[in-house]
Chain A
Amino acid sequence: MELNTRVTGITGKNVQQAQFWKRLKKQKTLHLFVGLGMIFLLIFAYTPMFGIIMAFKNYSISTGIKGIFTSEWVGLKHFDEFVNDYQFGTIVRNTLALSFLKVIFAFPAPILLAILLNEVKNMRFKRFVQTISYLPHFISWVVVVGIAFTFLSADIGMVNKALLGLGMIDKPLDILTNPQYFWGLAVGSAVWKEMGWWTIIFLAAIAGINPALYEAAQIDGAGRLARIRHITFPGMKGTIVVVLILTIGSILGGGLVGSNFEQAFLFGNSINNPTSEIVQTYAFKVGLRDGRFSYAAAIDLVQSVISVILIFSSNYIAKRTSGSSLF
């Protein structure tokens, strides 16, 4: 096959073209398979990307998909409106706070768990703990919030009932409705849900460490903590950096450390609104509920642009400081 194309390259364009069609004909079924996939992506991934321009227009849903292109331009009007929205400051603060708190608290949790698990020599126990630890990953946020409700609700929650029963508090803690508690609730539930899942990747990184290093360190008299510090941890560093970049890139969405939107939407209520309203829930409310499509698209776009900037800058910083990077 390869020889053929090389020869035809010399003998002339017509032959080359004939070869091209012959090859294409031979592969036609394969191109049909792939083509179906491409059509799918065109409809469900690329058309929405072009739809971003509606953020700069006055789009009306009644005009359908055509309207994205035909509606009038209004430039940055919607962005301007968003920045001047009376809720803008609170929403942005909540989004950033939730995201960064999660990186600080939810990101190290799987690393710690992986190190702890690595120290367990009993394989059965280790596997059992692992299996249990990533079970919550497979449960939907709805159920996680439901579970949180059965434990924390002021009226029927088990924690409050137990604490009251023991006389440790005199009135129930309104964890689910007090704005003060929302960030802690979100971070805590994210740790509970996703910690075990991400240990899979860190344990794999540890498995890649040469066992001879441990033996050598032991002979040199390094204790267990010393071995963790000087062998296990450095061995995971590359993976940690890559996962951290990924985390920061998807930080506004909550990404690897638990969906911000689902948490804010499900844990959120009219009372904890001052700390639970984030960019995404707000975009959802003004967009799909109030029908202000262009305005919501503009809010969405702001968030995506910030995410792209975050992933590129964290990648750049990681490359400069540690040598590991995503791209």
Chain B
Amino acid sequence: MASKRKKYEAAQGIGFLSPAMIVIGIFVMSSIVFALYISFHKVNLFTGYYEFIGLDNYKRIFTDTKTRIAFINILSFVAVVVPVQTILALVMAAVLNANIKGKVGFRTIYFLPTLTSSAALTMIFMFLFSLNGPVNQIALDMNILRESINFLNNPRFALKVIMSMNIWSTVPFFMTVYLAGLQEVPKSIYEASDVDGANSFQKFMHITIPQLKPITTFVLLMGIIGTFQMFDQAYIFSNGSGGPENSTLTVALLIYRNAFGQNNTMGFATAMSIVLSIVVFVVSFIAQKLNKSESLY
């Protein structure tokens, strides 16, 4: 009797889980295996022919010029965006957490960029930075510029426009994560430091930052994972080309172009996607370690 009930419960469990298992099984688990398989092959999309070529796709990553450019672009992007967005989010969360009226109102406004799709955001920023757009106009009016800069078509500025947009749009999310973390910091620590005569800045440096360390790790990881895979903004900004002069060519964009272009480079693209994942994993691991070891002193 008992075993019959057990079997019945097992059948129910499988029944409840099966939709999720089918989707995850096909589109995640078997896809990982499939990705590894593809990465060792030369794929002809039109004939559907897979030719085994061993590690050639991986080797090509280290010799391909465009790949090098894409990796340099994305590394500089991560190196700028992640620290800036983390620090800004932390500072703004601390400010917002101070005893201030209208918190909800401020938070609602700050959250706008997070809600907006990358497509709409990129369009708005492209308008702002266009030749006759507001940024150029303001800079001209204030005599910062002598003549309009074509931000969108100038390789020196294109990636920086995307960087600033990315920071601007991700800070509110991480700020909210930090705000939630701040609620957990015991008030007694601040009160004790009040007795010792600490000022606000000292409290921020010596209590808030160390207490929020686990949250900072989370924010750094999320930031690293998000920025390394940056695709939408680069694609929309350059209409898929990665231009001007490859300045907005990110690894994710290059993967897309190789996979779905005309050159039968799907295997190469897959290999690149696996290498990108490994890079993300390693950088995340290092960031996590660094953030932890700091707490030793």
Interaction A to B: no
A interface residues, Cβ below 8 angstroms from B: none
B interface residues, Cβ below 8 angstroms from A: none
